[in-house]
């Protein structure tokens, strides 16, 4: 009796977990229409793009070797060192 009980509990827990994951994924799906307008970029995204464009203009700087995360870190450091203007 103990083995059947453990198998049934294990099977029930697996079914419950799958059900909960399905319900969670259905609840938090993106509910925007497919062709909704894009969000406008925030100030940091625009600043980062400016930094990226500046790096591309430098002939001696090989920005292609940098990962986007490294460029973002550089932009973040410059962003924090800027004045409030």
- Give me the residue spans of the domains in the chain: 1-28, 43-81
Mention every residue, 6+ apart, whose C-beta is less than 8 A from residue 61.
Answer: 55
The encoded tokens of residue 20 equal 């909960």
pLDDT at 38: 86
Closest CA to 46 of 77, 85, 81, 75: 75
Tens digit of each residue's pLDDT (9 = 90 or more) over 29-54: 666 677 888 889 999 999 999 988 88
pTM, entire model: 0.54
Cα–Cα–Cα angle for 58, 83, 85, nearest 5°?
100
pLDDT at 45: 94
**Do 40 and 49 meet the contact criterion of CB atoms below 8 Å apart?**
no
């Amino acid at each position: 009796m103990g083995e059947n009980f453990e198998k049934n509990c294990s099977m029930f827990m697996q079914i419950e977990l799958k059900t909960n994951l399905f319900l969670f994924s259905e609840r938090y799906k993106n509910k925007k229409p497919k062709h909704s307008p894009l969000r406008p970029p925030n100030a940091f995204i625009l600043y980062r793009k400016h930094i990226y464009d500046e790096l591309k203009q430098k002939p001696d700087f090989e920005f292609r070797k940098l990962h986007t995360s490294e460029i973002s870190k550089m932009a973040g450091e410059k962003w924090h060192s800027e004045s409030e203007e």
